[in-house]
A and B are shown apart, each in its own frame.
Chain A
Amino acid sequence: MKMAWIRAFEYKATVYGFRLGNIVEILFQVVIWTAIYKSTAMVNGYTYNDMMTYVIIGWLFISVTQNYGMDDVIGRDIRQGTLSAYLLKPLSYLRYSVLYSLGRVSLATFSGVVIQGFFILIFYKHVLPPSSVLNIFLILVMVFLGYFIRLFLSIAIGAIAFWTTETDGLFSFASTLIKFLSGGFFPLNLLPNSLVSLSSFFPFAYIIFFPTQLYLGKISTNQGLIGIGVEVLWLIGLYGIIKFVWKKGIKIYEGVGI
């Protein structure tokens, strides 16, 4: 973990690149919504301020749950055979990945929080305060678990590299899909209700959508608690899936390239 941290400093440029991309994307969403609200005061129960809050606070959650392409890191390790070096050593690659990712993101997360802080300052007139103190606590738990949900998803997706060598397109599709399903592009309740209730059974919505709803007070504390329960169940489920997939994958792993 410490290593990944040191390494993160070596890759300052990557982190800045990511940040810059994020800023552009946030501005883009701000501009679009501002344009839409020129002609209407309400979109599906969201006022302009609600929406601004959703975008800026939502992005805060996106940036702290981000793992900056662990699926790629793992996929590459498998594809290029660097995984072999880990298989030799008395350590579990999966546990290593989790620690490595934590170390890797700490710097990036910090910078992400700082940038969102700036956004909140700039748009402070439009960013609403959190609905209640208790909810803040729930949100913290939810986002913390959200980080691991995203990480576990990335690890599971990365393991696809055991079966196919062409993974880049797949990974990018998966990450866009996850972002969409978690409400990263727009609030999920702009979609038909049936899809919203369906999404509550999947882990994705709990990464961004549910915590922002909780922040805006659009769902109750009880619903928040249930959400955390669902997250925990999914984490256990994903862990099981990863273990299973990994075991299968390792059997056919050929350690190519060495």
Chain B
Amino acid sequence: MSIIEVKNLSKTYEYYKKQPGLLASIKGLFKREKLFTDAVKNINFTIGEGELVGFLGPNGAGKTTTLKMLSGILYSSGGEALVLGHVPYKREKEYQKQFALVMGQKNQLWWDLPAMESFILNKEIYEIPDAEFKENLDELVELLEIKDILDIQVRKLSLGQRMKCELVAALLHKPKVLFLDEPTIGLDVIAQKNIRDFIKHYNKEKKTTIILTSHYMEDIKELCKRVIIIDRGQILYDGQLDDLIKKYAPYKVLNITFNDNGVKREEIEKFGNVQKYNSYAVALEVDREKVKEAATRILSSNLPVDDILIDEVDIDEVIRKIFRNTHANQPV
């Protein structure tokens, strides 16, 4: 069953060009140049129950705009979106009680009050029964290990602690759909891992449908089987993360180390495409089907091979490649 259905969804922002300088500013009071930008252009996708989908794309690609449309903050300019059978921008109570949006860059807790006060406020807003509230809260607090910071003013918390509290606040009403917009942004490696583990666990336990955006490939690799890659408002790829690698990187990487006198570039070039080279360590791109054969040939040659490793291409590399390609094709 699909939880989220998006058809030809678009969003156009209107804005005015502002010229620098005083004179231009005064001119701008009378005549302004109206411009439009398409933040999201005709995107389509469906997401099923319990899926954890990664939204990937550079800054300004339209990820957040899409999430905002799905959560009803923004009106769409075209197309339609259905989440749990509701049209988000109608902002029906039944819908709002079933989803949550967490933004790593934005604070939804009461800045000047302890997090606990925000939790209680959410309990009232979402009309969560006492018993359920207590049970959920205890569970989340234990999972995230934040028992001792509940009574501290939010502004005095560290970013990582605050993020954990944001997650608790968003999950108290047991949403069926969760939108996470860069939940790990700015966190240190350990805090990132904590949050990541929590999301993974939560998705598995509660079967919550989650859309996650992140700039950290670690997040995506750890959490998402399926990714949607979006750039300049358009979907470039929608599918399994593994297939993405196969599609965009039809080769594997041979990492070979040499001893003795090392190796010359000309000697190794005939086996494949040289990615990195120095005389003692070489990375070679070789077609998937030919990789075994190439390895055997290198081993049986008279090159001073010390070690040879066959690796999958790094996902970062693949994605960088995708973006580089599309940017090359579309002039700015």
Contact = CB atoms under 8 A, between A and B. Distances in A.
A91 B125 contact: yes
Interface in A238-255: 250-255
Given A7-B113, A89-B125, A254 B13 contact: yes
Interface residues of B, number: 30
Nearest to A91: B125
A250 B181 CA distance: 22
A3 B106 CA distance: 20
Nearest to A250: B75
A85 B106 contact: yes
A258 B64 contact: yes
A7 B155 CA distance: 13
B126 A89 contact: yes
Classify the interface of chain A: helix, strand, loop or mixed: loop
B91 interface: yes
Interface string B113-136: 100010001100111000000000
Interface string B25-46: 0000000000000000000000
A14 to B, nearest CB: 12
A90 interface: yes
Contacts of A89: 96, 122, 125-126
* A: interface residue count bin: 20 to 34
B73 A255 contact: yes
A3 B73 contact: no
A75 to B, nearest CB: 18
B195 to A, nearest CB: 18
A84 B68 contact: yes
Contact of A88 (B71, B105, B112, B117): B71
Interface in A5-41: 6-7, 10-11
Contacts, number: 57
A43 interface: no
A192 interface: no
Given A3-B113, A6-B113, A258-B105, A88 B75 contact: no
B91 A257 contact: no
A90 B93 contact: yes
A7 B112 contact: yes
B100 A90 contact: no
B192 interface: no
B106 A90 contact: no
A90 B117 CA distance: 18
Contacts of A233: none
Given A6-B117, A90-B125, A258 B103 contact: yes
B74 interface: yes
A175 B103 CA distance: 35
B25 to A, nearest CB: 11
A97 to B, nearest CB: 14
A114 interface: no
Interface string B76-117: 000000000000000101001101110101101010110001
A82 B109 CA distance: 11
Contacts of B74: 253-255
A249 to B, nearest CB: 11
Interface in A80-133: 81-82, 84-85, 87-91
17 contacts: A3-B117, A6-B113, A7-B110, A7-B113, A11-B112, A81-B106, A84-B106, A87-B72, A88-B73, A88-B96, A89-B125, A90-B96, A90-B97, A252-B14, A253-B74, A254-B13, A258-B68
Interface of A: 3, 6-7, 10-11, 81-82, 84-85, 87-91, 250-255, 257-258
Given A88-B73, A91-B125, 8 more contacts: A3-B113, A82-B106, A84-B106, A87-B73, A90-B97, A252-B14, A253-B74, A257-B106
